[in-house]
Amino acid sequence: MRTIVVATQKGGSGKSTLAMGLAVAAQQAGEIVRLIETDPQGTLSYWQSRRGLAEPFVEPIHAPADIGRRLDALARGGVTLVVIDTSSGINALTRAAIDYADLCLVPARPCIADIVASAPTVKIIRNSRRRFAFVLNQAPHRGPRASEAARALIQDDIADIIATPLITLRNDHQDALAAGLGVTEFHASGKSADEICLLWQWVEQRLPRADASYASDPADVESHALLANTAAAMPTEATLSWDACL
Ligand SMILES: Nc1ncnc2c1ncn2[C@@H]1O[C@H](COP(=O)(O)OP(=O)(O)OP(=O)(O)O)[C@@H](O)[C@H]1O
Ligand SMILES: [Mg+2]
């Protein structure tokens, strides 16, 4: 079983949207998926109440100590992928979830303020020796600023820790949430669905092999390239040359 944790202290950056979208895309690709919600706001529970489909099942967890126990049970029960949606801010539940992540995804709108605001979360992820990648979300779909900022990111040597593709700002994501669907179910031939499918493929390639045994002790999970690449890579306002949103 592999575990993805979607986390950043910055509110509204797209944690829940990406958790739902990726969970459904992964299920469509053959994974047996469980969503865990540690956010009392309950966005995923709301989504499931609109869904009318049992899978992927959303399971709220409110106590940090429950996370490891629940992951062990899900692994024994045959679940192959868990996606954990966390709340904004930093709290014990998010820290506990990060401890069990095979890969942390840090959504950020593609602007300096959002990336810098994610620094406390990234620090926790790195202290926990987890792999992570930024997912740039809510990117405008046209205009020269997108390519300018993408070039700037590459020049700033953090391209290795940015998931591809960027996820564009589109109504499909909001309408899918309201309909209780993954965006790949809501408009399967749409561009948002394409992006989320490609993002799942990118993520899947960076997870441990599906048949690797589940390591309930986070220290058992080796950190590879992504962690190494981030040793000095966390951007600050001083190290990023681009100065505004895409
Ligand atoms: N790519 C996107 N295109 C359009 N709307 C989006 C996109 N991503 C997120 N949104 C919308 O932005 C809002 C915030 O997204 P979401 O709830 O996923 O963020 P969050 O990080 O989970 O927020 P919180 O920190 O409050 O839990 C929602 O209305 C969601 O539908
Ligand atoms: Mg949320």
Nearest CA to ligand 1 atom 29: 174
User: Could you tell which of 17, 91, 175, 187 is best to mutate to test the pocket of ligand 1, judged by most ligand atoms within 8 Å of the CB?
Assistant: 17
Per the confidence metrics, is the pTM higher than 0.75? yes
Reference 242, options 165, 135, 174, 154; nearest CA is 154
Domains (range + CATH), the chain: 2-229 (3.40.50.300)
C-alpha–C-alpha distance, residues 84 and 125, integer Å: 14
Instruction: Among the bound ligands, name the one nearest to the CA of residue 21.
Output: 1
Report pLDDT digits (tens) over 15-64: 999 999 999 999 999 999 999 999 999 999 999 999 989 999 999 999 99
C-alpha–C-alpha distance, residues 198 and 210, integer Å: 18
Relative to the CA of 171, which ligand 1 atom is closest?
Answer: 4
Report pLDDT digits (tens) over 153-188: 555 556 668 898 999 999 999 999 999 999 999 999
Instruction: Give the list of residues 6+ apart from residue 30 with CB closer than 8 angstroms, or none.
Output: none
Enumerate residues lining ligand 1, CB below 6 A: 11-17, 39, 41, 43, 87-88, 137-138, 167, 169-170, 173-174, 177
CA distances to 98, 104, 177 from 50, in Å: 28, 27, 8
